[in-house]
Structure 1
Amino acid sequence: MGEMGLRELKKRRMYEDVSDIAVRLFLAKGFDAVSVAEVAAAAGISKPTLFRYFPAKEDLVLHRIADHETEAARLVAEARAGARSPVGVLRDRFLSGLAHNDPVTGLNDHPQVLAFHTLLNSTATLVARQHAYLERSEAALAEALGGTLDARLAAGQIIAVQRILAQDNWRRIAAGERVEDVREDAVRAAERAFARLERALADHG
């Protein structure tokens, strides 16, 4: 691995380590009760250094899902290049996520995952930050679908379907249902939702 590769790996590890420390503090004390200075001290770095990696306090939490921001756009670009159905590819990825209890699908009952979702959805500033994340994801997907108004409308529907399916799964798990008791309904709901998308967005197939 070259110098650039090592530098990038070190940077990625720094992001992950600082984010993990911050999330642990937020879960223990509450997001609003923990200062950025406290996170920096716990991570052994200065506050200015922390802000170079994470411009806003909310980014310390959202970093955990940042890798998914352009995933739909990437999958769609690959699908179009291979003359495959973009919606079909996204459906397959979501169903695979359900099969593997991917936290992104909401179908995961690990205590830390549930606590993280609760933190995300019960903190006003994090909810607002998530909206910005979804808007960027939607914009990237729209561009991958062609960048037209129709593409933007399609991207909005796709992102909404993925979000609502995941939220429904998470709410059922958070209410005390077992993953295995939710899985069949989750798969059926996803297949039905993506089938409707496929019909509605046939122009993008």
Structure 2
Amino acid sequence: MTHPGLRERKKQRMYQAVSEIAIRLFMERGFDAVSVAEVAAAAEISKPTLFRYFPAKEDLVLHRIADHEDEAARVVVAGRAEGVAPLPALRRHFLDGIAAGDPITGVNDHPAVRAFYDLLYGTPSLVGRLHAHLERSEAALAEVLGGGLDARLAAGQIIAVRRILAEENWRRIAAGERAEDVRRDAVAAAERAFAVLGAGLRELT
């Protein structure tokens, strides 16, 4: 296993620190009310330096979920190493995420998580940037599924199903339901959704 060097670790710490400072400011005052210059000042770096790390203001927020961008692709690769087909591996991973309260599944009602997703889904420019994140997720998944049109179509369906399941779970959490009350329905919905995917994508089962 390759471990990152000192320079890379310092870079990742910088990403994390600046992103967390920005998210805190955005939650306190609103995304549109805080300028990039104010974020840079709070992080004690120059504005040009900030833009070297984060090309767009929205990236300051999306960095928190950046590691999920190639998650589906990584799950498929790991599953294959275990002899598990892509869809069963993805199904198991999503259900494990629900059980663990992984925020990316939408089944998490911790106040800090709720505040972050209120910011994300409540800001149109962030929602737009999120779609680019999902497109990259599709591309990464399609690549490990073999590339080509069939792989792209399959990846698009899988990423869409994961997104819709998570958004429905989050909609209920945002409306005030407790995560423990949402979890059972979330599991049943995920089971149904992956069964439908399996019926249409038999080559991935």
> Would you call these one fold, judging by a TM-score over 0.5?
yes
Give the Cα–Cα distance (whole angstroms) in 1 for the partners of residues 173 and 204 of structure 2: 34
Tell me the number of residue pairs that the alignment of Structure 1 and Structure 2 aligns. Answer: 203
Q: CA deviation at 1:81?
A: 4.6
TM-score by length of 2: 0.95
Q: CA deviation at 1:119?
A: 1.0
Q: Deviations over 1:26-71 (max 9, x none)?
A: 0010000000000000011111111111011000000001100011
Alignment of 1:51-130 (within 5 A): 51-130=51-130
Q: 1:173 matched to which residue of 2?
A: 173
Q: 1:132 matched to which residue of 2?
A: 132
Long gaps (5+) in structure 2? none
Give the Cα–Cα distance (whole angstroms) in 2 for the partners of residues 204 and 101 of structure 1: 26
Identical counterparts, % of pairs: 71
Give the Cα–Cα distance (whole angstroms) in 2 for the partners of residues 147 and 19 of structure 1: 33
Q: 1:196 matched to which residue of 2?
A: 196
> Residues 77 and 145 of structure 1 are in contact (CA less than 8 Å); yes or no, is this contact kept in structure 2?
no
- Matched to 1:119, the amino acid is L
Give the Cα–Cα distance (whole angstroms) in 1 for the partners of residues 180 and 130 of structure 2: 28
Q: CA deviation at 1:143?
A: 1.0
> Residues 36 and 47 of structure 1 are in contact (CA less than 8 Å); yes or no, is this contact kept in structure 2?
yes
Alignment of 1:21-32 (within 5 A): 21-32=21-32
Query: Are the structure 2 counterparts of residues 4 and 132 from structure 1 closer, same or farther at C-alpha, using a change threshold of 3 Å?
Result: closer
Q: Secondary structure, in 3 states, of the residue corresponding to 2:56?
A: coil
Q: CA deviation at 1:203?
A: 1.5
- Matched to 2:51, the amino acid is F
Q: Deviations over 1:163-205 (max 9, x none)?
A: 0000001010110111111110011111111121122111123
Q: 1:150 matched to which residue of 2?
A: 150
Long gaps (5+) in structure 1? none
Q: 2:36 matched to which residue of 1?
A: 36
Q: Deviations over 1:47-100 (max 9, x none)?
A: 111111101100000000110001111221233354421011111111111111
Query: Are the structure 2 counterparts of residues 4 and 89 from structure 1 closer, same or farther at C-alpha, using a change threshold of 3 Å?
Result: closer
